[in-house]
């Protein structure tokens, strides 16, 4: 019995905590290009110091946060009406719509991003369509721009925005909106004063679920973005595979983790507090 209860902790310890500690240990080591693995363990903050001394890393950080934030905002603006519409349809039709939201998960993430490469490429389907329809006579290539990165992130993470939003909107009691209307609130006022504040937990959850992975995203900027798109996930990859600097790459990973744990912790505490209040 005690073993069964301990199993999840064992799992977390082996496959989450231990790797994290390994990464931390590597980050504190020094680069040793000639040995295998190319690390000399130790207790040095050299790699961290380098992170803060070179503008490249700060620029990559800020650019990652900017791209993730705008993508999250776009995903919210797209996902909210979707979640709202699903929550408002007849209960027997909701499962179908929800299935459509998660349908992309049935195909590998990587393949879907490759598909976008084809769509966005020079003379790709989208460009051909724009020319054929006359919407733009000479559209530039989208692939390789930051637009493509935004598009990819919004596309890939939209379900993570829609699902938590749906979960809170679906619980919203219709009679609250009727009460608002009864007391003189036009539909927009009722939305702003009742629906929106009551769906705030879903907004926060959805934004975190999109923002956090988007900040560290590597595949999308690598495949859809160009050389001009600077994101911390790509920097990490380059340090590791191109430059072979394990400690520096690990230091980037540690910083990424620490910076993202902060907002998650705040969110968790707010969730716990609002649950306490409700009971």
Would you tell me which residues interact with other proteins (CB under 8 A)?
A: 173, 175-176, 178-186, 189, 193-194, 197-198, 277-278
Residue with token string 């905590």: 17
Distance, in Å, from the CA atom of 9 to the CA atom of 124, rounded to the nearest integer, reads 49
SS3 of residue 232 by DSSP: helix
The sign of the torsion formed by the CA atoms of 60, 263, 5, 9 equals positive
Q: Which C-beta is closer to other proteins: that of 74 or that of 177?
A: 177
Q: Which C-beta is closer to other proteins: that of 87 or that of 212?
A: 87
Q: Which C-beta is closer to other proteins: that of 197 or that of 262?
A: 197
The sign of the torsion formed by the CA atoms of 50, 41, 213, 114 equals positive
Rounded least distance, CB 174 to other proteins, Å? 9
Q: Which C-beta is closer to other proteins: that of 66 or that of 186?
A: 186
Q: Which C-beta is closer to other proteins: that of 78 or that of 198?
A: 198
Distance, in Å, from the CA atom of 52 to the CA atom of 141, rounded to the nearest integer, reads 35
Rounded least distance, CB 278 to other proteins, Å? 6
Exposed (0-12), middle (13-18) or buried (19+): which is 110, by Cβ within 10 Å? Answer: exposed
Rounded least distance, CB 167 to other proteins, Å? 16
Rounded least distance, CB 117 to other proteins, Å? 45
Nearest Cα neighbor of 141 from 120, 155, 125, 162 is 120
Q: Which C-beta is closer to other proteins: that of 8 or that of 184?
A: 184
Q: Which C-beta is closer to other proteins: that of 180 or that of 230?
A: 180
Rounded least distance, CB 197 to other proteins, Å? 5
Cα end-to-end distance, the chain, whole Å: 31
Rounded least distance, CB 74 to other proteins, Å? 27
SS3 of residue 253 by DSSP: helix
The sign of the torsion formed by the CA atoms of 181, 185, 190, 193 equals negative
Task: Find all residues with CB under 8 Å of 163, minimum gap 6, and list them.
Answer: 83, 98, 101, 102, 206
Distance, in Å, from the CA atom of 228 to the CA atom of 144, rounded to the nearest integer, reads 8
Rounded least distance, CB 170 to other proteins, Å? 16
């Amino acid at each position: 019995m005690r073993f069964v209860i301990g199993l999840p902790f064992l799992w977390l310890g082996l496959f989450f905590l231990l790797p994290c500690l390994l990464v931390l240990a590597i980050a504190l080591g020094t680069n040793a290009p000639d040995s295998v693995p190319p690390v000399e363990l130790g207790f040095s903050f050299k790699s961290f110091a380098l992170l803060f001394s070179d503008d490249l890393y700060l620029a990559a950080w800020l650019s990652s946060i900017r791209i993730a934030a705008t993508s999250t905002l776009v995903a919210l603006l797209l996902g909210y009406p979707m979640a709202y519409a699903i929550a408002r349809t007849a209960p027997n039709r909701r499962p179908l719509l929800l299935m459509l939201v998660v349908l992309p998960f049935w195909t590998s993430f990587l393949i879907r991003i490759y598909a976008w490469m084809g769509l966005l490429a020079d003379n790709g389907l989208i460009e051909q369509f724009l020319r054929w329809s006359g919407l733009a006579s000479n559209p530039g290539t989208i692939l390789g721009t930051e637009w493509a990165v935004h598009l990819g992130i919004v596309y890939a993470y939209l379900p993570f925005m829609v699902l938590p939003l749906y979960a809170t909107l679906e619980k919203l009691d219709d009679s609250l909106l009727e009460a608002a209307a009864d007391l003189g609130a036009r539909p927009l006022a009722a939305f702003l004063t009742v629906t929106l504040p009551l769906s705030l937990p879903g907004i926060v959850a959805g934004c975190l679920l999109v923002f956090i992975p988007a900040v560290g995203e590597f595949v999308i900027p690598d495949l859809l973005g160009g050389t001009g798109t600077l994101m911390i996930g790509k920097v990490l990859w380059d340090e590791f595979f191109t430059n072979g600097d394990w400690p520096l790459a690990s230091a980037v990973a540690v910083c990424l983790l620490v910076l993202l744990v902060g907002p998650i912790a705040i969110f968790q505490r707010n969730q716990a507090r609002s649950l306490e209040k409700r009971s």
